[in-house]
Structure formats: structure tokens, C-alpha cells
Chain A
Amino acid sequence: MRPFRLSRVAWSAACVAAVLFFAVSGRNAEASGGGLFGTPIELGAGLDLVLEAPIDELADTTFEVREFELNIGAPVDPYFYMLATLAYDDGEIGLEEGWVSAILPWNFKLQVGREMTPFGYLNRLHPHDFPQIDPPFVFDNLLTDHGMIGDGGHLEWMAPLINPTLTLNAGIYSRMEHSIGRRMDGVPYQLRAQTYAESGCGGHAVLAGVSYLAVVGDRDFAAGRETDPRARGKVRNIYAADLKYRWGVIGRRTGRGLTIGGEFFHVDYERNPDHELYNPDLGGDPDATHPGSDQGFYAYAHWDFDRFWGLGYRFDHSDILFSRLTGDTREIGHSIYGQWWGTEFSRVRLQYQLRDTRAAGAESDLEHIVLLQGTYFIGWHPPHRF
């Protein structure tokens, strides 16, 4: 369960009340000027609709509202900025993000609250902003199915360099729900170093980062239900490296260009000694397995013809978490996709995916999947970063 969770009805009522309140105030469409009580408050909502059709089993086709999010953000005063995102996904409404940030002397920034931890590249994005419709396999298999969201905060420092830049940050979290944090026995903390550089003409830009996430101390360990095979292990360290490169064809059509990106993750873990399989008091064998590690990565290339049309390909290769404990299994995928932006506020994407699941000693299990997505925004949306 996520912390601070109210009943669905209460959250629904709160969301509806907020929308009505701002709408009646007439402020919801204006990102600048005006504002509630004379204060600019940015408010916007987004809808992410996904249809998923396994070609071999069309009867299992699903269509769902993958996410609905309500964003509210504004400076609190000259010292603090606040952003909150209420989200509906998987049939639940909850506080996805809620944080305040403050600029400190010497190029530091502090952000505290509930946040998408700045670990790796993709984790800082909401699912509708992912480069493809579905999350990369490694993201789902090793890290999270909801984004690594932590209650805590991080301190960020930017070196006084313009090109290239250097950004360092360190964060600590009391908990990370709906993520690999549930399989970490201690208080999670993370470190990240990131650099960004661009060519003089601005046509080439690259962002590269390395991240580390681990735990300090011990605490109550809730790895999940005993029936969940992932309850068998405890994660100790996660390493990540990410790269994004963009070649923008300046002077031709706006938006035309090539984007290449990818991330690599490595997870160290050990068996959970409290699990029945390894706890001698429960009849388990403490020497049954040894510590192990899993890895995975994704890489994609995307070509934008202009700011309306684009095509791309993604390759996935990922272990499934605790594969050494649960039996070697990995997934490999090939995805091709196309997208059309109606405006900045609406997008339709179509994706074909070949998913190849391989267990140790077993034959490949191939799936052909077609995904169709529509994302729509009204009002304000937090600006996109490179």
C-alpha cells in the first residue's frame, strides 16, 4: 500500500473539487498572469489511454486508462516552489508527486517531499512521457512498474560550468513504494552525476549520467507476499548508466532530428534469510543459493520528420529480478513505433513489439503485441526537459 492513501472516493472528491474550484476561478488555462488570489498557479490535467493487443490471443486485448494526472504547481514565495501530481492508475488514485524545492547558495538546490527519484534518466519521467508506449523491459523487470517514487528528498549541486555542465545529486528516502525499494532492507539513498554538452551550432546535444542506489542501516523488510517469487531476495545495490543524444536538423523543419538513447542497470542482491526457502526454522535450506546480480538495458533510435511525425525502434534485453533465485529468465524485445502529434497537447502512437521470454533450459516464448496510445493534456503541463 502507498502511504498517505485516502479512500478512492475521498481522492476523487478532492480532485473534482480542485478542478471545479480552479475552473470556476477562471485560472486553469493561464500559465502566466492572473492566478488564484493574484498568484500564478499552474493547473493542468493529462489522460493516457492505451490499447494492448496480443496478436496471437486477441481475446486478451485490453483497453485502459493507464493514467490520469492532475498537476498543480507554483512558486510558494520567493524561496520555495511547490508541485503536486495526483494520479489515477491501476484503478487507484494517489499522490504521485508532492514536493517543494528551494534554491540554496553556491549553486545548490534542495527538493523534499514525495518525488520521482533522480536515479537514471527515465525514472524522472511520467509514463506518458516515455519515448515509447510501454516502459523498457529492464525498467519493469528490475526497477519498478510505477516509477521509483520516494518519500524523502535530494540535494543537487551544479558546477559553475556552462558547456559541458556537471550536476551532482544525493538523495535519501524513508521509503520507496511500488518499486524495487520494497525489496531493499534499509533506508534507500542514491547518488547521481550527470553532464550535458552541446555543439556550438546547437545541432548536437548529449546528456550522460551515472547513478547509484543502495541502502543504509536495517529496518523492517517487506519484500512482498510469500507467493511473490520476488520476496525471495533482498536488493543491496543498483547501478545505472544512461545516455541520450540528439541531433537536431536546425534550419529545416522544426523538430526534425535523430534521438538516440539508452540505459543500463545492474542490480546486486542476496537471498532473503527470512523466506521459507532459506530459513532453517521454516524448513528452508540456508545454503540453497548464493548472492547474485541481474542486468539489463534498452537502447532506442528515433527519427522525427518534423514536430508532428516520428518513427523509432527500441531494443530490450533484461534479466528478470532475482533470476538467480527464481530460475534464470530473461526477456528480449524489438519494438517499432510511429507517432503523430496533433499539437503539443495531443499525441497518438502505434507500436509493434516482439517479446521473447527465455527461461534457463527452456525454449523461447514469443509474443507479438500491438499497442495503441493516445495522450491528451488540458491546461498546464510541467515543461519537458532534454
Chain B
Amino acid sequence: MRMLTSLVVLLGTLSVSTAEARVRVTTTTTDLASLVELIGGDKVGVTSLSRPLQDAHYLDATPGMVMRISRSGLFVENGLELEMGWIPEVLRETRNRDVRTGGDGHVNASEGINPIQVPERIHRDMGDVHPSGNPHYTLEPVVSQQAARNIANGLSRVDPENRDFYQANLEEYIRRSKELMAKWRGKFEEHRGAKVITYHKHFDYMLEALGVEVADAIEPLPGLAPSAGHIAGLLRSYDAETVGAVLMEPWHDQRVGRQVATGIGVPLVVGCPAVGSCDDTSCILSLFEENARRLLEAVSSRPEAATEAEE
């Protein structure tokens, strides 16, 4: 009985000691965690459920996720079905009603965003298509302004005393992201209309913002492994005159990306898929900047300089 009492007291102590004055925020991705940090500053403590180099499409729901969200004042998800394979289970199991969908502590960061690539019809034979559109909007900081707005509103709901602080940081983020975008659009001006082959549709928001077109994809359909026939088709269809680079995420088979890039005679760019996944990508703005820099370096190079831009 004494042991049981001690255990209850210990757990109670742990519970109280972690109840800090800062708003405890849990996000599904490091990109969203970065946005929360930019908006919440020192008023928040934020943790991401996925790591920078984990593909957030494919995680397992774990008891650790359940308790982390249960003990949060605010939960931020990417939305657009990015996390639909695991977040519904975590939210169903969470002990905190406020962070469930519809609660004051729940933010779907994609609300109000105008997504690209919304399919006109949904069918599984189209591959792993997201019914609501491409979910990787956090790779483009201006589109992410709406996500930042949603986060600021969520923080204001759970911590109304600091509403002005959050709104001021939101305005600052909007200003910085506009400036950043203007800078990089200028740098890409001479490459408008350049074409790249991507692996997955991960960087498409960024490419659209910079005026770079997607000629084709290594995945024959979203989420499917490329076949030898598909790769051969890419090599037959494109050359260094029609495509400027191959752009891929580090969590796909880089041998395939390298094969395509080498076969066409263009650089392979292994992009940074999330905040913290590469050096100099500590926030969502520097993530965009680093990816834009890598891409610019690749499309600026001549066809014969078919080097790998991977770092």
C-alpha cells in the first residue's frame, strides 16, 4: 500500500512539475514546429511527432504520441490527409478532448489554404492521391502564411493573454516570407519555365512559386515504386535540353534518382524535405532558402556539368 501511495505521489509530482507557464504545443512535422516557434516565441514549448528525415506519410501511431498530445495545450496538424495513416488513431486515443478535431486546442494548419493539385476525381488507380490536394505546402513560405495565421489563432485561443504577441509575430513572419519570396523569384527570373523531374510531389509548391515546371515524375503514380520500364521511358523522353535537374527527397531510393539524372545528363538535387533535415534549415524560411539555393545551382549549371548537387 505504501508503494502504491508513493507511486501515485510520484506520478502526481511529475504531472505538476511539467505544467509550465509556457503553452505546450505538439505538431506533426518539424515544419509546423518551426512555424509555431516563429509565432509563439518564448511563450511556447513545441515538439514535433515526426523527425526531420521521417516521411510524415508513413508513421505508426505510438503510445508516446498519444501521451505527448494528451499533455499539450495545442496540437497542430498539417492536414490535407498528410497524416491520415496515423493521426486519427492518436487523436482517438488522446486523453485530452481539447486537442481533438473541433476542440480549442486543435489546429488544422491547412484550413483556408488554396491547395494545388486537387484531383477532379478520386480513384485508387490514380495512386496515393490526396483528395484535398497536395499537402506539402510548408515548403513554400508564402502559402504557409495561412498556416501561420491558423497557428496564431490557435495560440490566441488557448493563451488569450498573449494574443497581441502572437499577432505581432504573425505580421513579422508574413513580412519576412514576402521578402524572401521576392528575393528568390528575382534570382529565378532567368530560369522561369525551366523544367525538372521530381521523384514525389514534395517540392511542387516551391517549384510553382519559383516558376519552375515539373516535366515528369520518377514515381509513375504518387506513392508507387518506379518500374524499370518507367525509368527507361523517362530516359527516352528527356534530355539535358528539355530538363534542367532531377529533384528528389532523401528518403527515396537515391540510386534511381542518380540513374535518371545521369542518363539524362543533368544534376541530381537531393532537396531538404523538412526543417532540420539539412544544415542551415533551422526554420521554415531557411528551409525554403536552402532548397531554392540548391535548385538554382543545379538549373544554372550547363548540361555537360552533370554533377550531383547533393550535400
Residues of A that sit less than 8 Å from B by CB? 29-33, 78, 81, 101, 103, 107-109, 158-165, 167, 194, 196-198, 201-202, 205, 207, 248, 250-255, 306-308, 342-345, 378, 382-386
Question: Does B66 interact with chain A (Cβ within 8 Å)?
Answer: yes
Residue contacts A-B, CB under 8 angstroms, 21 given: A30-B122, A33-B131, A78-B102, A160-B14, A160-B18, A161-B67, A165-B67, A194-B63, A202-B51, A251-B53, A251-B250, A251-B251, A253-B251, A255-B58, A306-B225, A306-B253, A307-B58, A308-B225, A383-B85, A384-B61, A384-B85
Expressed in whole angstroms, the Cα–Cα distance for A248 and B59 within the complex equals 11
Name which of A30, A101, A307, A342 has the most chain B CB atoms within 10 A of its CB. Answer: A307
A162 to B60, Cβ gap below 8 A? no
In the complex, are the beta carbons of A254 and B252 less than 8 A apart? yes
CB-based contact A196/B64 at 8 Å: yes
**Which residues of chain B come closer than 8 Å to A307, judged between CB atoms?**
58
With contacts A107-B70, A160-B11, A162-B67 taken as known, whether A32 is within 8 angstroms of B84 at the C-beta atoms is yes
CB distance from A47 to the nearest CB of B (A): 14
Verify if B41 is at the interface (C-beta below 8 Å from A): no
A253 to B253, Cβ gap below 8 A?
yes
The 4 nearest A-B residue pairs measured at CB: A251-B53, A383-B89, A196-B63, A165-B63
> What class of interface size applies to chain B in its complex with A?
35 or more
A386 to B57, alpha carbons, bound, how many Å?
A: 15
Q: Given A30-B122, A250-B53, A342-B224, output 11 extra A-B contacts at Cβ < 8 Å.
A: A81-B92, A159-B11, A160-B67, A162-B67, A162-B68, A162-B71, A251-B250, A253-B251, A253-B253, A343-B127, A383-B85
- Taking a contact as CB atoms under 8 Å apart, the answer to whether A32 and B252 are in contact is no
Looking at the assembled complex, report how far the CB atom of A223 sits from the nearest CB atom of chain B, in whole angstroms. Answer: 37
The smallest beta-carbon distance between A377 and chain B, in angstroms, is: 9
**Residue in contact with B62 in the complex, picked from A161, A308, A345, A385, CB distance below 8 Å:** A385
* B14 near A29: Cβ-Cβ < 8 Å: no
Tell yes or no: B2 within 8 A of A by CB.
no
Closest to A79 in B: B97
Interchain CB contact (< 8 A) of B93 among A78, A109, A306: A109
Contact present for A378 and B124 (CB under 8 Å): yes
Q: At the interface, yes or no: B94 with Cβ under 8 Å from chain A?
A: yes
In the complex, what residue of chain B is closest to A381 when comparing beta carbons?
B85
Chain A residues with CB under 8 A of B14: 160-161
Q: Determine how close the nearest CB of chain A comes to the CB of B15; give it in whole angstroms.
A: 4
Most chain B CB neighbours (cut-off 10 Å) among A32, A196, A197: A32
Contact with A along B61-100 (1 / 0, CB 8 A): 1111011101100000000010011101100111101000
